[in-house]
Structure 1
């Protein structure tokens, strides 16, 4: 970790690490093997303030910063690199309600979301509009005191399990200015879910399509104003990308720490693996790259906290670098374990599977390059 943490941030880190070691790491393999969604563990995390990390305190949130959140999520991801990203998504959706929702909406929903008695999902992606999110087709049509939603969202973390869905739908014409944001509750008539997706990793969180078929949503569940939805979605993703980068660092740091112990104990050619200079150099490079990525993630978090005009490109840089570096480090750690690294009896292969999707979600790393280049060159 960096040495410039405040006393409070050090306390957050230590609390998150202790919780991760006690409540996540011992169960992560079981959750992965049996596809368990650990709601009880999430509620225990929420009892420590991790269910609404940067939600305001008047509705039960912790009122912390994005940097605080990055520190917390990295430590939690050391214990489970599948469950922690769901917690990040829940926090992102909750923040969008807190930051853009009207006061009655905030006070009605956020206390239960902060305790994780209820959990939230973020619904932007569609089968026909992944990276081109502004081309989404889900439609919301005003009908008196309701909006009627029709369409479907794809690859939604928490699909079928979450109680609240923050949904981007088109209320106007084509393009980003025609998109609005809605809060849709699980019990709403016309809301249904596809089959659970069969995934490489992230087995402790459900993923499915979310389907709207004449789904009647009260008009007061509009978050923000009509036409503001794409800006709300992108604002949420600035923080979400910092979080997923931090989760990546946590998973990779766990792999590195596990590998350091392994190479000290494992002997070949009458000496510990740790005595081979080539392996020592590889481990040194991994530690260096992780630290560089961590510093970039923390800088991006500070810029988001400050509302800096360069925050979106800084976040894209951090997300791209951290997720690429983390996957590479975890993959190298698997290699250093040899055949054992490929077995499910050892935890490295699970983390490798979980980390792979981090290069895709919250905006692919190719889209991160688009965002960075646009900030540099315009267009």
Structure 2
């Protein structure tokens, strides 16, 4: 164990138990053997690693948020955060796939689904038989999710969906899409949105998007053309979709913070090892104060990221509604800090940090999404401000 690990990376808040540390150890061993060797290939080739889904599922890492009775591993929020952190240390893309497949693609079904819907979809999503997606964002509406335009018109005893969705992770590969569409008028805003489970039978045209980071995750623009959804495809009641989406995103922000933590750890570890081995002016560069101070600052920031992310997860596990605030705080802090740490790592690595062979270069690109996905940093501040001044209850 290095001094970096002993003093910083493996120091956990006191509520982290032995079972969580054992989980970290087993996941880390799996990730080093199976995920890390694929990380660069996934990133450079921008190829979705479909073959990894059953492998991840076999380790219980794909259906983390799915209860055991529905074929998942039923992990608590803290365990999920630890898993996502470890996955992101090796590959942000694989971590994001696991976060969507075992999070946003299943959370709405767990929150509002019927028993029949849960038994139809959850085991196959947790096992990797189906690929899932969470389709909320549209070309017109990102942060203003209540303004979405996709229409769901009644047709017989079901609905027909038409419209576009944008920046949808796993959109290219998705078999099942949790889709939010307008069943009421535009003036109804969030009260006119309903959630649907849409099985793609060829009515959805997916256009892959070339993203800066988190490559190989099947991000796409989607065009729905006369997609028929039977009555059993409606999630919850008509008009409840916006609330379902917001609850799912509250949990997803803990996962985003954990992924940011894993990315930052990877960048720091590479920079730290480089500072030990890289020689300049007849001595290792860590002996220069400019480098050493940056490493220390990065280490302290990672400890603060872990405290916020793990505390949000712990509050969620305790059923404490204050986790909603803490999830936004953790996601906000992680997105800012992961970007700062990635930039510092690139500076310390110099030319090496600018080429594809370095971890820091990939982390630098991946980390930018954390400022946007699951609600931008400005949205997090807006949510937290409304809670702080009593304008939004939790």
What TM-score, normalized to structure 2?
0.93
Match of 1:359 among 327, 351, 371: 371
Q: 1:311 deviation in Å?
A: 2.4
Q: Which residue of 1 aligns with 2:218?
A: 206
Instruction: Output the CA distance in 1 between the equivalents of 2:27 and 2:112.
Output: 28
CA contact (8 A) 2:111 2:244 kept: no
Q: Which residue of 2 aligns with 1:262?
A: 274
Farther-moved stretch of structure 1 (274-283 vs 301-310): 301-310
Q: Which residue of 1 aligns with 2:26?
A: 15
- Say if 2:289 is the partner of 1:277: yes
- Say if 2:224 is the partner of 1:224: no
CA contact (8 A) 1:53 1:64 kept: yes
Q: Which residue of 2 aligns with 1:55?
A: 66
Instruction: Output the CA distance in 1 between the equivalents of 2:280 and 2:143.
Output: 47
For residue 51 of structure 2, give the secondary structure of its aligned residue in structure 1.
helix
* Structure 1 residues 1-379: aligned runs within 5 Å: 1=10, 2-4=12-14, 5-92=16-103, 93-173=105-185, 174-187=188-201, 189-193=202-206, 195-379=207-391
For residue 81 of structure 2, give the secondary structure of its aligned residue in structure 1.
helix
Q: Aligned-residue CA RMSD in angstroms?
A: 1.3
Q: 1:3 deviation in Å?
A: 4.8
Instruction: Output the CA distance in 2 between the equivalents of 1:227 and 1:303.
Output: 29
Q: 1:231 deviation in Å?
A: 1.0
Instruction: Output the CA distance in 2 between the equivalents of 1:161 and 1:197.
Output: 13
Instruction: Output the CA distance in 2 between the equivalents of 1:347 and 1:160.
Output: 26
Q: 1:312 deviation in Å?
A: 2.0
For residue 175 of structure 1, give the secondary structure of its aligned residue in structure 2.
helix
For residue 181 of structure 1, give the secondary structure of its aligned residue in structure 2.
strand
Farther-moved stretch of structure 1 (283-292 vs 300-309): 300-309
Q: 1:306 deviation in Å?
A: 3.2
Q: 1:44 deviation in Å?
A: 0.9
For residue 324 of structure 2, give the secondary structure of its aligned residue in structure 1.
helix
The CA deviation string for residues 100-123 of structure 1, in whole angstroms up to 9 with x for no partner, is 210111111111111112111000
Instruction: Output the CA distance in 1 between the equivalents of 2:128 and 2:373.
Output: 23
Instruction: Output the CA distance in 2 between the equivalents of 1:196 and 1:54.
Output: 27
The CA deviation string for residues 222-273 of structure 1, in whole angstroms up to 9 with x for no partner, is 1111111111101110111110110111011011111111110000011001
The CA deviation string for residues 103-153 of structure 1, in whole angstroms up to 9 with x for no partner, is 111111111111112111000001111000011111112222211111111
For residue 320 of structure 2, give the secondary structure of its aligned residue in structure 1.
coil
Q: 1:46 deviation in Å?
A: 1.3
- Kindly report structure 1 stretches of 4+ aligned residues shifted beyond 6 Å: none
For structure 2, which runs of at least 5 residues remain unmatched after alignment? 1-9
Instruction: Output the CA distance in 1 between the equivalents of 2:63 and 2:107.
Output: 8
Q: Which residue of 1 aligns with 2:4?
A: none
CA contact (8 A) 1:20 1:77 kept: no
Farther-moved stretch of structure 1 (13-22 vs 327-336): 13-22
CA contact (8 A) 1:52 1:95 kept: no
CA contact (8 A) 1:152 1:210 kept: yes
**Number of residue pairs aligned between Structure 1 and Structure 2:** 377
CA contact (8 A) 2:169 2:220 kept: yes
The CA deviation string for residues 268-316 of structure 1, in whole angstroms up to 9 with x for no partner, is 0110011122321211111111111110111111222333332222211
Instruction: Output the CA distance in 2 between the equivalents of 1:133 and 1:244.
Output: 19
CA contact (8 A) 1:56 1:98 kept: no
Instruction: Output the CA distance in 2 between the equivalents of 1:304 and 1:319.
Output: 14
